[in-house]
A = this chain, B = another copy of it.
Amino acid sequence: MADEKIVLAHGGGGTLTRGLIEKVIIPALGGDAGGLPDAAPVPGTAGLVLTTDSFVVKPLEFKGGDIGSLSVHGTVNDLAVSGAEPLALSMGLIIEEGLDIEVLRRVLVSAAAAARVCGVRIITGDTKVVARGEADQLFVNTAGVGVRRITSDPRGLKPGDCVLINGPIADHGVAVMSQREGIDFRTTVESDSAPVWPFVRALIEVGVEVHAMRDPTRGGVAACCVEMAEGSGVTVELDEGALPVRRQVRAACEMLGLDPLTVANEGKIIAFIPEKDSARALEAFRKIPSGENAAIIGRVVERRRFPASMKTCLGGERIVEMPYGEELPRIC
């Protein structure tokens, strides 16, 4: 990669992102192939986990959320799907000269409100300002510390597992894109930005066996399933008919030429649960107000030719591919 440059698609959460992380970032940092997980145990502590996420979403405010609430949800969700209950957050701001202080205030108030709902506090922060044209309004980094309550291994998928999701997909990506492009879909699509810890806690409380969990953010359900299936040496078979997608979101995706499977979510969790426990897990998800449309959307089978596939509504089968690059830039 001697003369190679970063391209926008390196940030899309797909094949190019993985290549950059696995071939450049992890080796440079001296880590092994299992290095730099979304959330990692802190050495020298009893079950503490650390995670980080930077947010560059554009526009800063969108239907159903803003960069403030998103930066809280994104990070507490990385903790939650690693099985950790969030304890505290840090927040680093990179502000472009010229930002309205009122906008800054609004997104911070929103972040604090989101943190309260998540039962977590923003305890430390940092503020940097760069000149006009050196950033785009506001970038936010949040890091989070949590304490592990349940083991969740992203490579823990086993044949026979059911694939659960806690609600309809692709809302976040479609909400941000339609706002950015000024497209009006009649019925408003709102981001699903929300904490998923209540769903993890519900799984713990009903005592089901959990093999793996993940939040399907950048790259959507497709990237999530392909990556986890590859890491576990299995194949995930999705069932298109079972996949919850709101009508207006499906219409918007058709109009924008997007596959809902690859569109980002910010309040969704995918859990891989052994079949024996899957009905109880689904029931637990559905008891949570925002989980009423939870569904079993597929199952894990022995490894076939491709890591993920989907039975279509028309009775066929299609390969589910890792999105290559940046279909939706600056979505989170």
Interface of A with B (CB < 8 Å)?
A: 1-12, 17, 20-21, 24-25, 28-31, 36-45, 48, 50-56, 87-88, 90-102, 104-105, 108-109, 111-112, 116, 121-131, 133-136, 139, 141, 143, 145, 147, 326, 329-330
**A25 touching B128 by the CB < 8 A rule?**
no
CA A4 to CA B98, docked complex, whole Å: 9
6 pairs, A vs B, C-beta closer than 8 Å = A28-B105, A28-B109, A29-B122, A56-B94, A135-B135, A143-B143
CA A1 to CA B109, docked complex, whole Å: 15
**A50 touching B143 by the CB < 8 A rule?**
yes
Given A5-B100, A105-B24, A112-B30, also A52-B91 (CB < 8 A): yes
Q: Enumerate the 6 nearest inter-chain pairs by beta-carbon distance, A residue then B residue, closest first.
A: A11-B129, A143-B143, A52-B90, A28-B108, A141-B141, A40-B123
Name A124's closest neighbour in chain B (CB-CB).
Answer: B40
CA A11 to CA B132, docked complex, whole Å: 13
**A127 touching B20 by the CB < 8 A rule?**
yes
CA A109 to CA B24, docked complex, whole Å: 10
State which of B55, B95, B116, B147 has its C-beta within 8 Å of the C-beta of A6: B95
**B97 touching A94 by the CB < 8 A rule?**
no
Residues on B with beta carbons closer than 8 Å to the beta carbon of A134: 56, 135-136, 330
**B42 touching A10 by the CB < 8 A rule?**
no
**B52 touching A5 by the CB < 8 A rule?**
no
State which of B21, B43, B109, B128 has its C-beta within 8 Å of the C-beta of A87: B43
Name A138's closest neighbour in chain B (CB-CB).
Answer: B6
CA A29 to CA B92, docked complex, whole Å: 13
State which of B1, B56, B129 has its C-beta within 8 Å of the C-beta of A10: B129
CB of A38, distance to nearest CB on chain B (Å): 7
Name A27's closest neighbour in chain B (CB-CB).
Answer: B105
State which of B51, B95, B109, B147 has its C-beta within 8 Å of the C-beta of A124: B51
Name A120's closest neighbour in chain B (CB-CB).
Answer: B43
